[in-house]
């Protein structure tokens, strides 16, 4: 049968406060440390989840999941695109050409990676069209010598839509046996802004124009495959291997952005572990608090024992007292962590705008803002672990309280 006496007395001790100022202070400090530890851990996990989400939904949704290359280029690319789209797990396939060059306007020059694409196929294989801030991605096909650039590049070159630029790409000169620059006039068809590292130098141009700059106008550099599941790379490449022409090979997102993904996961785990240690320190402050409470309540414990309270009930009383401290701290920390997780992105943006300080630069970080993605399961896990730690921390002081001898405690009363 449930013993309600220790519960009643434990909750009464918790609600009545403490006349000993030192004990009251230690109780508040231990609870405050638990609140801050839980709130910070939930907030940090939400930020790391935000980086993971942005990497998946922005960067990895734009760059190829799997790329098929050939040393001499791919001439029969329409067949390869068709076969790729029929593979289970492949959502879209599109041809592409990469060209390294420089984009010029007047005296301003920036290095870029020109990405030659088929507009219709690329719209199926990429979400870049969702990030247009001026013009539409489909307008690239209707603009002669059109180019789509990022807002960051547009600001550096001081251009807007319909302005003209010059693209400088290296071209092999067989007579001289060297690379010579080739200048191409382009018109800005649209401007995009993903807020990621891609904005630093990625531009889009029509596949037909890129083919004439890259080779003989018949071959493409490769075919990209967009997957339903990022981690199904091995299964898809195994199926596609039989359809590849001689000399073809694969590259996937793990070679281009795998290190970034692993770094985010490692940072999430390390930061989570460090903050869990902070929670553990705050939880085990309950030990000090309970020991002080036991010393302060020795006469009360002795009186309760003379009235018939058993050592097991005394131990349970103080375990309930300490556990409820942990539950209150974990609950308040959980609520505070939820609020911080949902407000930290606009809050940091406002602070950055107010003081004109950019905390995150896409030149260094994968995104140019602080993302947050609160997940209920993370918050519940953190709060549960905090309560569990507080429960464990109550065992020793409660055991000491149960060992109190009434005669010794009341000798000088």
**Each residue's pLDDT tens digit, 27-67:** 777 788 888 889 988 998 898 888 888 888 888 888 889 99
pTM: predicted TM-score of the whole model, two decimal places: 0.78
Phi, psi dihedrals of residue 68, rounded to the nearest 5°: -105, 120
Q: What are 206-217's pLDDT values in tens digits?
A: 998 888 888 777
Mean pLDDT of 11-28: 63
Burial of 360 (0-12, 13-18, 19+ CB in 10 A): middle
Residue 201 tokens, joined: 């130098």
Residue 319 tokens, joined: 């375990």
Q: Which of these ranges, 4-8, 84-88, 132-136, has the smallest mean pLDDT?
A: 4-8
DSSP state string for 347-398: HHHHHHHHHT--S--TTTSSBSS------HHHHHHHHHHHHHHHHHHTHHHH
Label residue 343 by pLDDT band (50, 70, 90).
very high
Q: What are 80-123's pLDDT values in tens digits?
A: 888 888 888 899 999 999 989 999 998 899 999 999 999 989 98
Are the CB atoms for 58 and 367 separated by under 8 Å? yes
Is 83 strand, coil or helix? Answer: helix
Label residue 259 by pLDDT band (50, 70, 90).
confident
Q: What are 139-169's pLDDT values in tens digits?
A: 998 887 899 999 999 999 999 998 999 999 8
pLDDT at residue 1 in the model: 38
Residue 316 tokens, joined: 């349970």
Are the CB atoms for 72 and 219 separated by under 8 Å? yes
């Amino acid at each position: 049968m449930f013993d309600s006496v220790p519960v009643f007395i434990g909750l009464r001790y918790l609600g009545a406060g403490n006349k000993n100022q030192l004990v009251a202070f230690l109780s508040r400090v231990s609870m405050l440390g638990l609140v801050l530890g839980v709130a910070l851990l939930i907030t940090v996990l939400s930020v790391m989840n935000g980086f993971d989400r942005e990497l998946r939904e922005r960067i990895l949704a734009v760059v190829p999941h799997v790329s098929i290359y050939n040393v001499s280029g791919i001439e029969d690319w329409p067949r390869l695109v068709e076969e790729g789209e029929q593979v289970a797990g492949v959502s879209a396939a599109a041809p592409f050409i990469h060209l390294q060059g420089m984009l010029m306007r007047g005296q301003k020059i920036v290095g870029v990676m020109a990405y030659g694409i088929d507009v219709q196929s690329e719209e199926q294989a990429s979400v870049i069209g969702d990030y247009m801030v001026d013009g539409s991605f489909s307008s690239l096909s209707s603009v002669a010598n059109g180019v789509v650039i990022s807002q960051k590049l547009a600001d550096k070159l001081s251009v807007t839509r319909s302005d003209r630029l010059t693209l400088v790409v290296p071209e092999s000169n067989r007579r001289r046996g060297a690379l010579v620059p080739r200048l191409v006039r382009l018109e800005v068809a649209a401007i995009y802004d993903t807020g990621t590292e891609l904005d630093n130098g990625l531009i889009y141009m029509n596949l037909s124009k890129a083919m004439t700059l890259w080779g003989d106008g018949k071959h493409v550099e490769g075919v990209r495959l967009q997957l339903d599941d990022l981690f199904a790379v091995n299964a898809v490449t195994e199926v596609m291997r039989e359809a590849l022409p001689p000399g073809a090979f694969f590259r996937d997102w793990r070679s281009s952005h795998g290190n970034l993904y692993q770094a985010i996961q490692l940072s999430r785990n390390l930061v989570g572990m460090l903050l869990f240690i902070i929670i553990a320190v705050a939880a085990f402050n309950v030990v000090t608090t309970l020991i002080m409470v036991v010393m302060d309540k020795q006469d009360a414990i002795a009186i309760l024992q003379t009235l018939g309270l058993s050592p097991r009930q005394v131990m349970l009383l103080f375990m309930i007292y300490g556990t409820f401290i942990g539950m209150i701290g974990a609950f308040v920390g959980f609520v505070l962590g939820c609020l911080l997780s949902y407000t930290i992105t606009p809050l940091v943006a406002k602070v950055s705008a107010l003081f004109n300080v950019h905390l995150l630069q896409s030149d260094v970080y994968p995104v140019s803002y602080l993302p947050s993605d609160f997940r209920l399961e993370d918050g519940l896990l953190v709060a549960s672990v905090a309560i569990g730690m507080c429960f464990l921390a109550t065992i020793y002081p409660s055991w000491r309280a149960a060992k109190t001898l009434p005669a010794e405690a009341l000798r000088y009363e």
